[in-house]
Amino acid sequence: MKRTGSHLRVAYTLIELLVVMAIAASLMAVMAPSLRGMMDSSNLSRAGQLVGDQINLARQIAASSNSTVEVRFVNLPKYSASGYSAVQIWGMNRSGTMGALRSLAVLPVGTVVSANTSVSPAFLQSFAEPLTTGSMSLQGGSAQYASFQIRPAGIILPAITMKDFCFTVTPSRVALSGTLPRNYATIQVNPLTASAFVYRP
């Protein structure tokens, strides 16, 4: 330390700075897994709420417009090819043709609605009236989707039992697994009222 007037000037040596940087790096390495877990948990909560909100919004639109509305789960490969990474509401537009009523609601990065039927049984194709699947045009290409319809009274088409009509949001890296990960969000839809409820473990 050098005294200059009444002020003290503190200087740090290179070794002291390296020691501080090494300690900081060690702390980051120890905290990284828990930080990633916290971010995953936050993204899953937001994704589950987004899906539930879109279904409830579609129900409100169907009731207020007195028309059938379609909820589409869209596979956007640029985000993840392991599940559905966006939701969109479709219905009759002003010209009387079927079209998008809302823009794509893209799930947070790293999350998808799992297409695995063991965790998202609503996608099972063994029902008498399975969910509709198809391809839709998007800016820059096309995407696959699966959809169901909501009538003005709130009844879901196809007719699926309550226990089977649920979707699960998982991290995209485990979406194809047949078992539930430690962290997920399940959206249960009442097939008689189209009310969506989000459950977190």
Q: What pLDDT digit, counting tens, does each position of 121-137 carry? A: 888 765 545 578 888 88
Whether 61 and 69 have beta carbons less than 8 Å apart is answered as yes
- The CA distance from 184 to 187, in Å, is 10
Task: Say which CATH number the domain at 189 has.
Answer: 3.55.40.10
Within-domain flag for 120:
yes
Spatial strand order of the sheet with 166-171 comes to: 83-84, 111-114, 166-171, 185-189, 196-199
What is the count of structural domains for the chain? 1
Within-domain flag for 4:
no
Whether 184 and 47 have beta carbons less than 8 Å apart is answered as no
Q: Give me the pLDDT at residue 174, please.
A: 81
Q: Which residues is 156 bridged to in the sheet?
A: 150
Question: Tens-digit pLDDT profile for the chain (201 aa)?
Answer: 455 555 666 777 888 888 888 888 887 777 666 666 677 788 999 999 999 999 999 999 999 999 999 999 999 887 777 889 999 999 987 777 888 999 999 999 889 999 888 888 888 765 545 578 888 888 778 889 999 999 999 998 877 777 778 999 998 888 777 788 888 999 999 989 999 999 998
Q: Give me the pLDDT at residue 32, please.
A: 66
Q: Give me the pLDDT at residue 90, please.
A: 94
Joined tokens for residue 195: 């009310």
Q: Give me the pLDDT at residue 5, please.
A: 56
Residue 80 domain boundaries: 11-199
Whether 98 and 72 have beta carbons less than 8 Å apart is answered as no
Phi, psi of 99 (to 5 degrees): -160, 175
Type of residue found at 146? A
- The CA distance from 65 to 60, in Å, is 8
In a 13 Å sphere around the CA of 201, the CA atoms on its Cβ side amount to 11
Q: Give me the pLDDT at residue 7, please.
A: 61
CA–CA distances in Å: residue 196 to residues 82, 107, 154, 167? 23, 17, 11, 10
Q: Give me the pLDDT at residue 135, please.
A: 86
| Exposed/middle/buried for residue 130 (C-beta within 10 Å: 0-12, 13-18, 19+) | middle
**Residue 68: count of CB within 10 angstroms of its CB:** 16
Nearest-CA neighbor of 169 among 110, 127, 126, 129?
110
